Structure 1
Amino acid sequence: MPIGRLHHLIVDCPEPAVEGRFWSAVLGQPITFDDGDFVVVSADTTSSGLAFQRSAQHRAPTWPDPAVPQQMHLDVMVDDLAVATDAVLALGALPLRGDHVFADPAGHPFCLIPRPGWAAPVHPGVEPAGAPPPE
């Protein structure tokens, strides 16, 4: 029997509103709470999600340089890596070393990964680039 259930993953950052808008756009989920110092992105007000809290002393990760470790990173599954890459770059992500590895506006690394076969499409009805035509 579990002890509990995940409420939110809390991420320190200098500007919670900036992080909230970025991840809201990447994940297609709304900002469900914002008090200026704490912003939540989740499917709705009763679902777990990502939360961003103001940290005046935040030091952005310098990964892969170990001077400041990556602290955390998210893997974001996508239907089409090329389309998703263009989209996150347009939102302000910065490319890092490695294929499909980026930093969000506060410097937190994240990876775009091809959607695994067991997962439902992120965008049902949209075939990823290079996918064979349906039979």
Structure 2
Amino acid sequence: MAEYPQLLHTVLDAVEVRELAEFYRRLLGLQYRPGDDPPAGGEDEADWLVLTDGQGNRTLAFQQVERLERTTWPRPDVPMQLHLDLTVPDREALEAQHRRALDLGAELLFDRTDDPDEPLYVYADPAGHPFCIFVA
């Protein structure tokens, strides 16, 4: 059993997935995960993209949404929005980390542990930010 879940990458919602991924790729000197590069001359229909560091470690991911209100931070009208994906090696570790998350104050939002390919739990942290723990 893993003592702690591992951070996989940070996921940012975006109306224009490629545009936001490209901004961060350039700003931070990251690379696209193999297969996520912009298409050569074709129409880009990406709804999920991942950026990696120089060693191939995932750092940021971007997922398509239809609408996204810009944050008004530091005013609280529209808070900052993101979620974290945390991984564990197997179902036993998933259940152990599930209990730990709840004990530490997380609120269970969604249980998809019946998925044979990617069992997961989705939680809200004590401040309300969502995160997932799933079997990698």
Return the TM-score normalized by structure 2. Answer: 0.46
- Could you say which structure has the higher strand fraction? 2
Higher relative contact order (CA 8 A, sep 6+): 2
